[in-house]
Chains A and B, each alone.
Chain A
């Protein structure tokens, strides 16, 4: 939307391409290295792999248990996202639609979560999980992720609810429907665009998180992908070729989803910073 002459356009293209190259090349290296042997990774970073070791992926998937880590990551991420949506939208609905004493205080209380990076409270979180006998369960991570996602998701959804027309709800109220019915049958289905934003906003952080699984999960069978990658680190050494294959396995799902849904991704992740 700027009117530019050809020279200006060329300059702009130059910068855009330069940045694109800088962005893509390391990712390309990440991809290429996953097919090399350990010495090759270190000593011949430029070269194409001498032999394309697809076995790195097979070994990482089976021997290194990546199939299992993948399953755990998927289950935990999906359930956490569903919980976040459910719990946050219910709260957002109430705050957007009703007036009651203490509403503002409640809103502020929950929104303050934006200022509380959960990681800093890790010690008490760990102790709480332990006291509730939830160590080494999917639940521990799901509960922590859900609680952590409430602040921002709720803020987004309150915004959205306020923009929904009241007429549909009013006619349902006249018909005698209670608040939960209205929420469930009318508003929730309309939430789709906002839900996409909430999902994307939380998805990347949950999928890539390694700090909470690190502290809350011990059992190898329950580890998520980032933690599984850490498992490659023995006390004094590492199998770099398998590690790189594992890194690609962990990065690939996010990248694929991102490419397919880039528009929603970008709007979801930049929400809250614009204006």
Chain B
């Protein structure tokens, strides 16, 4: 017994994790097979909730939401990875003031998403908001749109705001990865007469591919779980006309009810969650696998 006493040291972690993370997830999946308004008896309904979401009257809403998540992922990726690389190179150049820029770029990332969403809702007000006021001031009145009110613009606007907050993270991750590239390789290429641009493109970027891979996975997980920013800027209805509805807001509406008289269906909500889970989990496992391999590599 004494020999294995050290195992006791993992007990707190395992206990907490099981009670507050693992068990709730299993329980959520379990709940998805019931009809339950949150109070009173639970009614077992088998796969009825899933049928409703995937094939029944909720199908249009569900397909619309998941499509939006996918669009969010694609655009968010393009707007994070490409500018991220670009600005990381700008910082890698090592000009004076680089450290200050690093801090400034990361600033928005430490501000709560709710605050960011709220702040930008105000900046985007069509009549008095700063953004439209600025556009009008420089003579671009035609571009002063009601950003969060038009079907064409609302979702891209939310994606844009998310980038404002998150770009710094990508810039700095890339920068750290670039710095990790073997300096000798870089010097050798320079001696061979390659331009700085060639060096960047042919030597440094290939080294960044694993990082890009990891970031892609993280972004996938993150964009499919998105909720806070949409909720903060458009509420739980995913307006206008459902154009910003994502799986997260769909879940929130169903599980906790929107404003007014919507029904509260926790079993149905659990089904939505389980579906999100089913989509995201395999990709997340990939991430876990990569981390695990890295661990084993260090054994």
Asked if chains A and B are in direct contact (CB within 8 A), the reply is yes
Q: Do B9 and A93 touch (CB < 8 A)?
A: yes
How far does the alpha carbon of A113 sit from the alpha carbon of B291 in the complex, in Å? 12
Q: Which residues of A contact B273 (CB under 8 A)?
A: 120-121
Q: Which residues of B contact A151 (CB under 8 A)?
A: 17, 21
Given contacts A26-B119, A26-B123, A270-B173, contact A116 B25 (CB under 8 A): yes
Q: Which residues of B contact A150 (CB under 8 A)?
A: 13, 16-17, 21
What sequence of 0s and 1s flags, for each residue 8-23 of chain A, a beta carbon within 8 Å of any chain B beta carbon?
Answer: 1100110110011011
CB closest residue in chain B, given A43: B128
Q: Do B196 and A144 touch (CB < 8 A)?
A: no
Residues of A26-75 at the interface with B, using a CB-CB cut-off of 8 Å, are 26-27, 29-30, 33, 41-46
How far does the alpha carbon of A8 sit from the alpha carbon of B180 in the complex, in Å? 24
What sequence of 0s and 1s flags, for each residue 87-123 of chain A, a beta carbon within 8 Å of any chain B beta carbon?
Answer: 1101101110010100000111111111111111111
Indicate whether B44 reaches chain A with its CB closer than 8 angstroms.
no
Q: Which residues of A contact B109 (CB under 8 A)?
A: 204, 269
What sequence of 0s and 1s flags, for each residue 2-31 of chain B, a beta carbon within 8 Å of any chain A beta carbon?
Answer: 001111011011101101111111011001
What sequence of 0s and 1s flags, for each residue 83-94 of chain B, a beta carbon within 8 Å of any chain A beta carbon?
Answer: 000110111111
Indicate whether A239 reaches chain B with its CB closer than 8 angstroms.
no
Indicate whether B255 reaches chain A with its CB closer than 8 angstroms.
yes
Indicate whether B106 reaches chain A with its CB closer than 8 angstroms.
yes
The distance from the CB of A224 to the nearest CB of chain B, in whole angstroms, is 11
Q: Do A120 and B277 touch (CB < 8 A)?
A: yes
- Which of B119, B177, B183, B276 is in CB contact (< 8 Å) with A30? B119
How far does the alpha carbon of A134 sit from the alpha carbon of B163 in the complex, in Å? 38
How far does the alpha carbon of A22 sit from the alpha carbon of B297 in the complex, in Å? 41
Indicate whether A2 reaches chain B with its CB closer than 8 angstroms.
yes
Q: Do B291 and A9 touch (CB < 8 A)?
A: no
How far does the alpha carbon of A3 sit from the alpha carbon of B187 in the complex, in Å? 11
Interface size on B, as a range, is 35 or more
What sequence of 0s and 1s flags, for each residue 220-234 of chain B, a beta carbon within 8 Å of any chain A beta carbon?
Answer: 010001011000000
Indicate whether A255 reaches chain B with its CB closer than 8 angstroms.
yes
Residues of B53-102 at the interface with A, using a CB-CB cut-off of 8 Å, are 86-87, 89-95, 97, 101-102
What sequence of 0s and 1s flags, for each residue 156-169 of chain B, a beta carbon within 8 Å of any chain A beta carbon?
Answer: 00000000100111
Q: Do A19 and B107 touch (CB < 8 A)?
A: no
Indicate whether A1 reaches chain B with its CB closer than 8 angstroms.
yes
Q: Do B16 and A159 touch (CB < 8 A)?
A: no
Q: Which residues of A contact B221 (CB under 8 A)?
A: 115, 117
21 examples of A-B residue contacts, CB within 8 angstroms: A2-B89, A2-B199, A15-B87, A20-B101, A26-B108, A27-B108, A33-B122, A45-B123, A45-B129, A94-B7, A108-B292, A114-B284, A116-B25, A118-B24, A120-B225, A123-B28, A148-B21, A178-B5, A180-B6, A266-B172, A269-B169
Known: A15-B86, A262-B102. 16 other contacts (CB 8 A): A1-B92, A19-B167, A23-B108, A26-B119, A27-B107, A27-B111, A44-B128, A45-B122, A90-B12, A115-B285, A120-B277, A226-B114, A229-B115, A250-B112, A267-B176, A274-B211
